[in-house]
Amino acid sequence: MNPTNDAPRRHPLTAEPTRILVERTNLAFAAGAVGASLAFASPRFAASVLAGAAVEALNLRAIWRSSEALLGLAEPARSGRMAVLGFGVRFGLMAAAMALALHAGAHAVGLLLGLSLVVPAVVLGVWRHRPPVVAELPALESDDPEWDAWNPWLARERDPEEEED
């Protein structure tokens, strides 16, 4: 949840949560990869791509929810500590799913391809659904002293009391 209001962050043009838009982009990439591998490779390879994409889609949803909990954007009942503990469990389950798929006869390259599809999907999905740029906002001059008042590592204004230490 967004700390300023109780609604999840939504894309300004579609009014849908950004997470759903990224998941749709991931689904489109996975469907395209499975279709292409079915057309140009064996059905075993296509099934392996599908298995990898399914595991990674579940992992993407879990990562998104965990990051919301860690950043304090989730429901108050969920805590960041549980998200950190879930990190290890999630990767253990992913390893077990991949081992099970390989043991069942999945093509290793197809499985890896399916697992890797999430990276370009997330980059493209987040880039396409970024907030609009407001061109009317004035930019600071390069020698403006306000630049020194901002801490880029903490993404907030510098506290003068902290800098004295």
pLDDT per residue as tens digits for the range 55-76? 998 888 888 877 777 776 666 5
For the chain, count helices (H), then strands (E). Answer: 6, 2
Question: Which has more confidence, 126 or 111?
Answer: 111
Integer Rg of the chain from CA: 21
Report yes or no on 163 lying in a domain.
no
Report yes or no on 44 lying in a domain.
yes
pTM over the 0.75 mark: no
Query: How many domains in the chain?
Result: 1
Report yes or no on 111 lying in a domain.
yes
55 is in which domain, residue-wise? 18-132
In this structure, of 28-37, 68-77, 113-122, the range with the lowest mean pLDDT score is 68-77
CA-CA distance, 158 to 52, in Å (whole number)?
Answer: 44
Report yes or no on 158 lying in a domain.
no
Report yes or no on 145 lying in a domain.
no
CA-CA distance, 159 to 156, in Å (whole number)?
Answer: 9
Report yes or no on 124 lying in a domain.
yes
CA-CA distance, 111 to 82, in Å (whole number)?
Answer: 29
